[in-house]
Amino acid sequence: MPSQQRPSLAEPRRARPPAHVRVCVRLRPCSQGDPCIRGLDSRSLEIINWRNKLETMQYQFDTIYGDQATQQDIYSGSVQPVLCHLLEGQNASVLAYGPTGAGKTHTMLGSPEQPGVIPRALRDVLQMTREASCSPGGEEWDYSVSMSYLEIYQEKVLDLLEPSQQDLLIREDRDRNILIPGLTERELGGFRDFERHFLPASRNRTVASTQLNDRSSRSHAVLVVRVARSQRAPPHRRRVAKLCLIDLAGSEDNRRTGNRGLRLKESGAINASRHVLSKVVDALNQGLPRVPYRDSKLTRLLQDSLGGSAHSVIIANVAPEQHFYFDTLSTLNFAAKSKQVVNRPFTQETLQTPGARKRPPKDPGAGPRAKRPPEDPGASSEDAGPGAKSPPEEEPPEAEPLSSLLPLEQLDPRLVQRLLGLEQLEKQQGGAGRRLPLLSTPRRERVALLHQLEETRCELQKLKERQKELEAMALLDKACQPKPLDHSKAPARARKQAVVLPLQQVQTPVGQQAMPSGAEGILVVQRNQVRGVGHRVLGRQQGWKWAGG
């Protein structure tokens, strides 16, 4: 039966204690020449300064493992201490980092004679759950362990337990937990179950031969182990922790590996994801507002491990040969930066209230009101008879008080949910002889109020329609009014142009020299032949007359 879970409210205001990422360095035995790096003590080492070979540079880490360290030394010294947090509901992460050929896969997987971190960690996790269930008080808890195995090949998340070419999507829930829908998950009852699932899946991982490594990993491998602890009795606490064991693909210098074609493309994807990983560490150390987790599938999966809620351990594998000098120096610089990253682990616990377990599942065809249980808990269905169902049969008119006037489809869904919830609460309280004052209004008064509400809505609708009509009439009247004349935009009156007639000399009698009154004419203008003098107006002179109409 599905149950409703909620986060535990125990100590909600306590600040999460910080936990720095633990970084250890493992030196691979030198195969040729003089080494360029050496360990000074259990926590420091030195490497030759490439600018001046007479000088050295020193680094400080949590633990330094020399070339004589065994698999057991590395596991018991750096990995085993973080596994105890799994039963407390806190995440843990172990990451192997380094260049190609430095021994990362050997550190994580190992061999049948020298098992690596992954088989040792799984054996201890299964042993821890068995011991916890057999300890005093352990019978109150149920323990379960499951595993998922995937690889990131050319920015594609591929399932190794169920091999396919489908690129799985990476999601994040509301609690900021990273999820991969569709990823296969296997339950582990013992270490044999782990071997039965893990060994065939490991052979599905993409590997190839290069000039620097005969079995070079061409993808990042991530093993996810989930440890769940559930309480049998109320309040049914449940703690789920996640252990991530990551074997990163090594960085490659294509000038020395001789990669071509597909190998070159794989190398480019590996180096690009590792570059984003370095950018994430830089952003966390600088306190930038945006951490580029989403720029790569690898960093998206490692969001819990770097700057998240996990107890993280980084195993930096380095090669001491001279031709690996710059790869080793780059690995040490990344390890030194990662040591400053701060995580904040916390216990991920959910609990279930007793009422939530007893609540029956909702029946979609049952309607808003559930049937009231019989008042006598000891009465059986046969003793109840048809008479025991009479009280529920008398309530159908009351079951849908709003349906006669206001259909539920026309109301706000949130309002309907609140009304139905209040009515059901009223019915539950009615069995104890109490009624809520909020719903104690008689049916007749409610009907009258609903009638009044409906009439008010009709009046409001009429007022809105009347307002629209008035607005339309006002717009029509405004359009019919004559517009005032705008003299500024009126066309200019046509001006009369003077008509120039040729000059004529007329012999006028002496008695007719004066121009008759009322005669209209124009003044004859003679242009001066000299330029720049302008016009000379001929007045009333002797021997000239007005030429007019």
Binding residues for ATP are 98-105
Q: If we measure between CA atoms, which residue out of 100, 121, 119 comes closest to residue 109?
A: 119
Tell me whether the omega of the peptide bond preceding residue 235 falls within 30 degrees of 0, making it cis. yes
Angstrom distance (rounded) from CA 151 to CA 154? 10
Q: If we measure between CA atoms, which residue out of 82, 225, 235 comes closest to residue 143?
A: 225
Q: Are 189 and 183 in contact (CB under 8 A)?
A: no
Encoded tokens for 350: 């959910």
Q: Three-class SS of residue 465?
A: helix
- The DSSP secondary-structure symbol of 432 reads T
Encoded tokens for 512: 């007719």
Q: If we measure between CA atoms, which residue out of 130, 88, 86 comes closest to residue 243?
A: 86
Cα 219 to chain center, whole Å?
25
Encoded tokens for 463: 């007022």
Q: Three-class SS of residue 490?
A: coil
Q: Please state the residue numbers annotated as binding site.
A: 98-105
Other Cβ atoms closer than 10 A to 115 = 17
Angstrom distance (rounded) from CA 270 to CA 252? 8
In the block, tokens 């990344």 appear at 334
Residue 208 amino acid letter: A
User: For residue 514, is it left (φ>0), alpha (ψ between -120 and 50) or beta?
Assistant: beta
CA distances from 519 to 150, 340, 505, 545, 548 (A): 116, 113, 19, 12, 8
Angstrom distance (rounded) from CA 263 to CA 448? 82
Q: Three-class SS of residue 289?
A: coil
- CA dihedral sign of residues 291, 292, 293, 294: positive
Q: Are 296 and 277 in contact (CB under 8 A)?
A: yes
Angstrom distance (rounded) from CA 26 to CA 63? 9
DSSP codes, 36-51: SEEE-SSSEEEEE-SS
User: For residue 254, is it left (φ>0), alpha (ψ between -120 and 50) or beta?
Assistant: alpha
